Structure 1
Amino acid sequence: MDLSFSIKAFDELTVHELYELLRLRAEVFVVEQDCVYQDLDNKDQQSIHVLMYKENKLVGCSRLVPPGLSYKEISIGRVITSEKVRGTGLGRELMKVSIQACHEKFGPKNIRLSAQVYAKAFYASLGFQEEGEPYDEDGIPHISMVYTT
């Protein structure tokens, strides 16, 4: 399997990479999950973007948000895999690379994420622990989870 990753700050993304990233996010979050929300939230410009390619096609991505922007901790958000590769283990690979990149870019600090409730077992299997009660975010149940270093 020809799998590769690109980890870039917003200003390092080419216009083609940015277009593919935003297209994939719209495809999954807006169309597939039928969720109308403001994806472009002015956090992308300050974040690190993890792009996952299979055979030179973007099949997954995540956003590493610096501490203090969304939460006091570093956070991982906008985690997506294309429907074509779900169930193949690539989501796990994307998260492993994302966690490692958080530590490389920001140091060995705790990482927070807002998980869709249906995916909490997936994140727990990577070492994230639930914190607090479920809450509604854009009409979808979420739970806060923290990865402790």
Structure 2
Amino acid sequence: MHVFCWNDAGRVAGCLRVFWKDHDEAAGVAQIGRVVTLEHGTGLGGRMLHEGVELAINKFGAKKIYLEAQEYAIGYYAKEGFEVVSEPFMEDWIPHVKMERVIIGK
């Protein structure tokens, strides 16, 4: 599923996607990916990430949410409860880390 946000001009200002990690619904691990915003410094990214987390919890029923974050964005994801669970690794020549958020009570 995708989360989109439109700006006042009716154009897409950001999006992200939520899906089952490794296409394995039984494992209960949702993945958030391809988070992108065109408007920076407005809080849009944080609001979109929050909606993606809510979607993973309430629509998917996820027990855990996983993502791969660019290293510079660790703090952005940490604000929504994600924790780093790997050493840095390179993807497309950009340092990344794996992050997870365990859903309490699931």
| Shorter-normalised TM range | 0.7 to 0.9
Q: 2:3 aligns with which of 39, 50, 53?
A: 50
The count of residues paired between Structure 1 and Structure 2 equals 100
Q: Name segments (4+ residues, structure 1) moved above 4 Å.
A: none
Correspondence for 2:86:
132
Name the CA distance, whole Å, in 1 between partners of 2:59 and 2:76: 24
Identity %: 37
Name the CA distance, whole Å, in 1 between partners of 2:18 and 2:54: 11
Structure 1 spans left out of the alignment, 5+ residues: 1-47
Correspondence for 1:113:
67
What is the TM-score when the length of structure 1 is the normalising length?
A: 0.63
Q: Which deviations, in whole Å up to 9, do the C-alpha atoms of 1:40-68 show, x marking residues without a partner?
A: xxxxxxxx111111212100000112133
Larger RCO (CA under 8 A, 6+ residues apart): 2
Correspondence 1:1-149 to 2 at 5 A: 48-55=1-8, 56-69=10-23, 73-82=29-38, 85-149=39-103
Asked if the contact 2:28/2:62 (under 8 Å) is kept, the reply is no
Name the CA distance, whole Å, in 2 between partners of 1:66 and 1:117: 23
CA-atom RMSD, angstroms? 1.7
Report how far residue 72 of structure 1 moved: 7.1
More strand by share: 2
Which one has the largest radius of gyration?
Answer: 1
Name the CA distance, whole Å, in 1 between partners of 2:76 and 2:97: 13
Report how far residue 79 of structure 1 moved: 0.2
Asked if the contact 1:111/1:147 (under 8 Å) is kept, the reply is yes
